[in-house]
Amino acid sequence: MRPEQRAKRDAFLGRIGTRPLVMGILNVTPDSFSEVGRFAAADAAIAHARRIVAEGCDIVDVGAESARPGATPISTAEEMARLEPVLMALGALDEPLSVDTSKAEVAARAAEHGAVVINDIWGLQKDERMADAVAAAETAVVIMHNRAEKDEAIDIVADIRRFFDRSLALAERACIPKERIILDIGIGFAKSSRQNRDALTRLGEFKDYGLPILIGASRKAFLGSLNDGSEATLAGTLAVSLAAITAGAAIVRVHDVAEHVAALKAFQILRG
């Protein structure tokens, strides 16, 4: 890792815990569940990244493969073809870059293009080479809980803990330093509405890991049992983000950066 890249990584990690941090989402996919391809073109993606940086996000998370249910998997070559022009253009930003991928080769190449965090929605468990790739690249990593399918009969918090334990064992084996690891409970991924609520309300049960928690609930209708759809709106997302921060989350991953930055500033003032 280059010295200037390492400095961005360490500055970002050093801010965790000083205040709630905002990870701004940049999907460069043609089939994202939210933007529906708005930023698939490199120019549009770059412009959006610069906009959310100006709005105050602490890190830009770039994703080139849709994780929505039913999305068609893409090859490493196609994922990199979407990522590379954006990463090359954004390398001069002062703010750090994260790349959302579950492929070890993409993670390694993204780090070469300046990424300082790898955000893996399969928590190092889908690609057996991922933990070693992260360790070699010296990036930080977000370990997110995921499942192949929903199972409403399980205790979701216990399942998340088992998943994290496996992922953290992989990270330790690869010699990824603990101070570079962030956990994500995976809101909206193979969980029922009740399980998503349980994971959030029991967030404090993950404090014993001693690791920062990231919450990504932006525009997800995970409380769909209420039937009015408000959870997928900005108001619903802000409510979940503030509840998560109150419960101990350190980072929120969101589409609406300016609104979250403003809400979190007011929240911090009220909390003193």
Per-residue pLDDT tens for 179-221?
A: 999 999 999 999 998 999 999 999 999 999 999 999 999 988 7
* DSSP line for 53-88: HHHT-SEEEEE-S--STTPPP--HHHHHHHHHHHHH
Selecting among 38, 220, 265, 271, the annotated active-site residue is 220
Residue owning tokens 């959030």: 200
Closest CA to 95 of 117, 77, 74, 78: 117
Mean pLDDT, the chain, integer: 91
**CATH architecture designation of domain 3-267:** Alpha-Beta Barrel (3.20)
The verdict on whether 253 is a catalytic residue reads yes
Name the pTM for this structure: 0.93
Q: How confident is the model at residue 229 (pLDDT cuts 50, 70, 90)?
A: low
CA distances from 203 to 92, 129, 151, 180, 198 (A): 36, 29, 20, 20, 8
3-state secondary structure of 178: helix
Per-residue pLDDT tens for 21-73?
A: 999 999 998 754 444 445 556 788 889 999 999 999 999 999 999 887 677 88
Which residue ranges make up each domain of the chain? 3-267
- pLDDT in the model for residue 232: 64
Q: HSE of 82 in the Cβ direction (CA atoms, 13 Å)? A: 25
Per-residue pLDDT tens for 232-265?
A: 678 888 999 999 999 999 999 999 999 999 999 9
Selecting among 103, 109, 253, 271, the annotated active-site residue is 253
- pLDDT in the model for residue 118: 98
3-state secondary structure of 143: strand
The verdict on whether 166 is a catalytic residue reads no
